[in-house]
């Protein structure tokens, strides 16, 4: 008989709807029962793409004996961490404080008031590797709840005080340092030097195994190169982007990136695919192509976005959250190949393909092969006495044939909910790629996504919602939802120059300031009328996605450049000042902050162009402004005589009836120009 999760919309929660565990979703019903029956709460947090979440579900939550212990002694609550990042952040900090590390599945024990007193991550069904079994943990907690309540109360009180102190001052500088009163480029230089020390000279990327994509860090390196002209930052970015694109972390048949590599050489991935990874990586590959014109970077950006269009797009216009690592009960089964199957599909073409993509009879992953670029077409052409174009053509034909064969396999599970923040990141990627690569299909996808977010993921009074699935949206939005959607809308405005996108971005920013701002500086992750939790979370550190605080600072700086509104810049600078020491010491954990700081310290280039956006004259000016990588500029376009809601365009008459560009810094403008070459010299 299904439990209470059967009424939820999250695919992750629905996966547990038939468990024998008497699960509750998070909410007052569960908390009230715990209070009324004086039971501890067992809180399990995970997500649909989490491999070890599936393992623990199968081993323990589907086990009638384990379920009987849970049902007898606990109120059991299941949470999708992607739907409720506030709960995930609060209780992950508690688990890290208890055990020294965290991860998913997260297993936390709470008082009926929601105060954590014990926790961990994965617990096995029987004792192994120094871990007690899950049932042993449950029985010990139940016994302590009955017999040693005072110890639990003290433990919970100590943890709660730790969480409150952490939430009150998450940006405290490192010991022996003080937050500087002014923003300084010394932070940017220190961060770049730190990244140089961490860079893996042999395999690129940072550190050793496991290797995670770091799109925000790569973005910062591109900006560092632009700011200083030094080659080292660009070389690190290029090497990392190339190694990832050649490695097994990239899907060479279908496009898109897996979550991370389990080894230092980017070869064997953890196979789930996340929207947020692919949105951010596609965008940074677009930027790298703008800087270097390397064909590989453009190809990877387009293949990644094409993958999102093909497999991760809902007919309503939004983007799905993730694809699982597992299919048919095996991790990676959908993506890996035996040499025999490749020979069967490709026939005489198999030899060349196996050379190119490192395929052997032994394999590199549990007897199968993760495809990776072992030899590039130029080397293969020289070896076989063939033209490079011929080799490239034969490999492209082979990839298509294998892709078609793979399409017949059982697909990994799809988490088809749309999350507002992740959709904002995807919107920005499609909008920028549409402009840079002149791809009308990407522009249509971006416009559809923006329309979806503003139509489907808002309340009747215009406030954003967090999660959508199958026609219905729910859960109040978080800071990151607002900040990432503002980012996407501004990117779409600078692609289409349709003022409605700017108007919506500014309206959301004003609401974000009104409901999320911390008077002490920065922003809370939850709105001022959000459900009361044991603490009000305020996360500064970037993770796999930008922190809401870092993206909010980034977007407010951009809006200040568009509008001249000092309140936007003041809020961003107040947030930036608090994190500078941390960003200098830990650049990968504060990479989006570093990008925001880079924008704040360089006088922003504000470009206002007056002319018909469809005319050749205006397009010639826009090509000068928009085709290169210019991360520290904002661009507005308006028709002559048009009253625009964008202050940057106010009082800008065209020069002699021609399309005219005004280049400004903080609304102090140079002489207007109509000639593209003059504009290029001015911007150069």
Give the residue ranges of DSSP H helices in 58-174.
64-73, 85-99, 134-147, 149-168
What are the beta bridge partners of residue 273? 323
Check whether the bond before 105 is cis (ω within 30° of 0).
yes
Q: How many domains does the chain have?
A: 4
Whether residues 300 and 340 fall in one domain: no
Is there a contact between 251 and 258 (Cβ–Cβ < 8 Å)? Answer: yes
Q: Is the pLDDT of residue 272 over 70?
A: yes
Q: How many other CB atoms are found less than 10 A from the CB of residue 30?
A: 20
What are the beta bridge partners of residue 323? 273, 414
Q: How is residue 102 written in tokens?
A: 């965290």
Q: pLDDT band at 175, cuts 50/70/90?
A: very low
Is there a contact between 391 and 360 (Cβ–Cβ < 8 Å)? Answer: no
Whether residues 569 and 622 fall in one domain: no
Q: Give 249-309 as a DSSP string.
A: TB-TTT--B-SEESSTTS-SEE--EEHHHHHHHHHHHHHHHHHH--HHHHHHHHHHHHHHH
Q: Is the pLDDT of residue 656 over 90?
A: no
pLDDT tens, position by position, 458-513: 999 999 999 999 999 999 999 999 999 999 999 999 999 999 999 999 999 999 99
25 contact partners, CB below 8 Å, separation of at least 6: 4, 5, 8, 13, 77, 78, 79
Whole-number Å distance between alpha carbons of 76 and 121 = 15
Whether residues 40 and 161 fall in one domain: yes
Whether residues 487 and 595 fall in one domain: yes
Whole-number Å distance between alpha carbons of 132 and 127 = 5
SS3 435: helix
pLDDT reported for residue 169: 58
Whole-number Å distance between alpha carbons of 382 and 387 = 8
**Residue 177: inside a domain:** no
Is there a contact between 216 and 591 (Cβ–Cβ < 8 Å)? Answer: yes
**Residue 309: inside a domain:** yes
Give the mean model confidence (pLDDT) for residues 289-313: 98
12-21, 298-307, 441-450, 598-607: least confidently modelled range: 598-607
pLDDT reported for residue 170: 53
Burial label for 469, CB within 10 Å (0-12, 13-18, 19+), is buried
Euclidean distance between the first and the last CA atom of the chain, given in angstroms as a whole number: 68
Whether residues 374 and 294 fall in one domain: no
Whether residues 291 and 397 fall in one domain: no
pLDDT reported for residue 51: 83
Among 551, 575, 601, give the residue marking a domain's end.
Answer: 601
Is there a contact between 94 and 159 (Cβ–Cβ < 8 Å)? Answer: yes
Give the mean model confidence (pLDDT) for residues 588-608: 94
Whether residues 552 and 656 fall in one domain: no
Which residues form the domain of 19? 4-168
Q: Is the pLDDT of residue 626 over 70?
A: yes
- Provide the CB-side half-sphere exposure for 565 (13 A, CA): 17
pLDDT reported for residue 666: 77
**Residue 178: inside a domain:** no
Q: How is residue 529 written in tokens?
A: 């009328």
Q: Give 204-240 as a DSSP string.
A: -SBSSSSB---HHHHHHHHHHHHHH--HHHHHHHHHH
pLDDT reported for residue 481: 98
Is there a contact between 526 and 464 (Cβ–Cβ < 8 Å)? Answer: no
Long-range contacts of residues 627-630, Cβ cutoff 8 Å, at least 24 apart: 627/290, 627/436, 628/290, 629/222, 629/226, 629/287, 629/290, 629/291, 630/605, 630/683
CA distances to 20, 74, 380 from 63, rounded to whole Å, are 7, 16, 53
Q: Is the pLDDT of residue 179 over 70?
A: no
Whether residues 303 and 346 fall in one domain: no
Threshold 0.85, pTM exceeds: yes
SS3 530: coil
Tokens 């230092």 -> residue: 264
Q: Give 307-340 as a DSSP string.
A: HHHHHSB-TTS-B--EE-SEETTEETTTT-B-HH
Burial label for 20, CB within 10 Å (0-12, 13-18, 19+), is middle
Q: How is residue 498 written in tokens?
A: 């349709």
Whether residues 27 and 103 fall in one domain: yes
Helix axes 548-563, 591-601, angle to 10 degrees: 20
Residues above pLDDT 90, as percent of the chain: 88
Strand order, beta sheet including 418-419: 418-419, 465-469, 472-476
520 contact partners, CB below 8 Å, separation of at least 6: none
Give the mean model confidence (pLDDT) for residues 267-277: 97
Q: Is the dihedral of CA 111, 116, 122, 125 positive or negative?
A: negative
Among 601, 624, 650, give the residue marking a domain's end.
Answer: 601
Q: Is the pLDDT of residue 679 over 80?
A: yes
Q: Is the pLDDT of residue 668 over 90?
A: no
Q: Which of 313, 308, 335, 316 is nearest to 324 (CA)?
A: 335
**Residue 359: inside a domain:** yes
Q: Is the pLDDT of residue 173 over 60?
A: no
Among 371, 388, 408, give the residue marking a domain's end.
Answer: 408
Whether residues 526 and 587 fall in one domain: yes
Is there a contact between 278 and 256 (Cβ–Cβ < 8 Å)? Answer: yes
**Residue 369: inside a domain:** yes
Return the DSSP state at 107. E
pLDDT reported for residue 547: 97
pLDDT tens, position by position, 123-171: 999 888 778 999 999 999 999 999 999 999 999 999 999 888 877 655 4
pLDDT tens, position by position, 344-364: 999 999 999 999 999 999 999
pLDDT reported for residue 168: 67
Whether residues 502 and 597 fall in one domain: yes
pLDDT reported for residue 176: 41
Q: Is the pLDDT of residue 181 over 70?
A: no
Whole-number Å distance between alpha carbons of 320 and 274 = 9
CA distances to 329, 338, 410, 593 from 334, rounded to whole Å, are 11, 12, 7, 37
Whole-number Å distance between alpha carbons of 527 and 532 = 10
CATH of the domain at 77: 3.40.30.10
Q: Which of 509, 490, 512, 487 is nearest to 500 (CA)?
A: 490
Is there a contact between 476 and 532 (Cβ–Cβ < 8 Å)? Answer: no
pLDDT reported for residue 178: 47
Q: pLDDT band at 559, cuts 50/70/90?
A: very high
Q: Is the pLDDT of residue 180 over 60?
A: no
Q: Is the pLDDT of residue 612 over 80?
A: yes
pLDDT reported for residue 603: 79
Whole-number Å distance between alpha carbons of 84 and 106 = 13
**Residue 180: inside a domain:** no
**Residue 152: inside a domain:** yes
CATH of the domain at 452: 1.50.10.10
pLDDT tens, position by position, 204-247: 999 999 999 999 999 999 999 999 998 999 999 999 999 999 99
**Residue 174: inside a domain:** no
Whether residues 402 and 433 fall in one domain: no
pLDDT tens, position by position, 51-106: 889 899 999 999 999 999 999 999 999 999 999 999 999 999 999 999 888 889 99
SS3 385: coil
Q: Is the pLDDT of residue 50 over 90?
A: no
pLDDT tens, position by position, 401-412: 999 999 999 999
């Amino acid at each position: 008989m299904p439990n209470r999760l059967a009424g939820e919309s999250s695919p992750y929660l629905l996966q547990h709807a038939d468990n024998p565990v008497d699960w509750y979703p998070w909410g007052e019903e569960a908390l009230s029962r715990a209070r009324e029956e004086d039971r501890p709460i067992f809180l399990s947090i995970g997500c649909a793409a989490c491999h070890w979440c599936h393992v623990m579900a199968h081993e323990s939550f589907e086990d009638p004996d384990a379920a009987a212990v849970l049902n007898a002694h606990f109120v059991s609550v299941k949470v999708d961490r992607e739907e409720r990042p506030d709960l995930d952040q609060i209780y992950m900090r508690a688990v890290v404080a208890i055990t020294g590390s965290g991860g998913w599945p997260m297993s936390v024990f709470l008082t009926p008031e929601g105060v954590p007193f014990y926790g961990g991550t994965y617990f096995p069904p029987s004792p192994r590797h120094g871990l007690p079994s899950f049932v042993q943990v449950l029985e010990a907690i139940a016994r302590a709840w009955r017999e040693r309540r005072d110890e639990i109360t003290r433990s919970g009180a100590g943890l709660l005080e730790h969480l409150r102190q952490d939430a009150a001052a998450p940006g405290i500088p490192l010991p022996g340092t003080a937050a500087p009163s002014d923003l300084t480029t010394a932070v940017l230089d220190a961060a770049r030097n730190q990244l140089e020390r961490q860079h893996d000279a042999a395999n690129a990327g940072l550190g050793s195994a496991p290797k995670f994509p770091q799109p925000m860090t790569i973005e910062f390196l591109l900006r560092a190169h632009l700011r200083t002209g030094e080659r080292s930052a660009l070389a690190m970015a290029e090497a990392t982007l190339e190694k990832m694109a050649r490695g097994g972390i990239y899907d060479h048949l279908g496009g898109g990136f897996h979550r991370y590599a389990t080894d230092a050489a980017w070869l064997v991935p953890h196979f789930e695919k996340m929207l947020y990874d692919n949105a951010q990586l596609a965008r940074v590959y677009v930027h790298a192509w703008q800087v270097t014109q390397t064909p590989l970077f453009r190809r990877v950006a387009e293949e990644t976005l094409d993958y999102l269009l093909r497999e991760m797009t809902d007919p309503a216009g939004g983007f799905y959250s993730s694809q699982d690592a597992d299919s048919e009960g095996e991790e990676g089964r959908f993506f890996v190949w035996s040499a025999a199957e490749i020979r069967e599909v490709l026939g005489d073409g198999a030899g060349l393909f196996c050379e190119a993509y490192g395929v052997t009879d032994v394999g590199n992953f549990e007897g199968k092969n993760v495809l990776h670029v072992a030899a590039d077409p130029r080397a293969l052409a020289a070896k076989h006495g063939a033209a490079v174009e011929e080799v490239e053509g034969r490999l492209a034909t082979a990839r298509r044939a294998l892709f078609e064969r793979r399409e017949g396999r059982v697909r990994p599970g799809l988490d088809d909910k749309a999350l507002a923040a992740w959709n904002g990141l995807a919107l920005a990627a499609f909008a920028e790629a549409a402009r840079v690569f002149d791809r009308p299909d990407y522009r249509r996808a971006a416009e559809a996504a923006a329309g979806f977010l503003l139509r489907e993921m808002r309340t009747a009074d215009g406030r954003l919602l967090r999660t959508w699935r199958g026609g219905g949206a729910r859960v109040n939005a978080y800071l990151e939802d607002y900040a990432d959607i503002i980012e996407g809308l501004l990117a779409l405005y600078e692609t289409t120059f349709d003022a409605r996108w700017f108007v919506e971005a500014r309206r959301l920013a004003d609401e974000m300031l009104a409901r999320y701002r911390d008077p002490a500086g920065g922003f809370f992750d939850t709105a001022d009328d959000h459900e009361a939790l044991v603490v009000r979370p305020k996360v500064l550190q970037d993770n796999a996605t930008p922190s809401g605080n870092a993206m909010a600072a980034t977007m407010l700086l951009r809006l200040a450049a568009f509008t001249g509104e000092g309140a936007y810049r003041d809020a961003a600078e107040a947030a930036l000042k608090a994190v500078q020491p941390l960003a200098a010491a830990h650049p990968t954990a504060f990479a989006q902050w570093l990008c925001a700081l880079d924008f704040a310290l360089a006088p922003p280039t504000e470009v206002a162009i007056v002319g018909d956006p469809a005319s050749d004259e205006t397009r010639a000016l826009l090509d000068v402004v928009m085709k290169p990588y210019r991360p520290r500029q904002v661009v507005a376009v308006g028709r002559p005589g048009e009253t625009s809601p964008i202050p940057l365009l106010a009082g800008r008459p065209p020069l002699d009836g021609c399309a005219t560009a005004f280049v400004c810094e903080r609304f102090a403008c140079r002489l207007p120009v109509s000639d593209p070459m003059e504009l290029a010299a001015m911007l150069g």
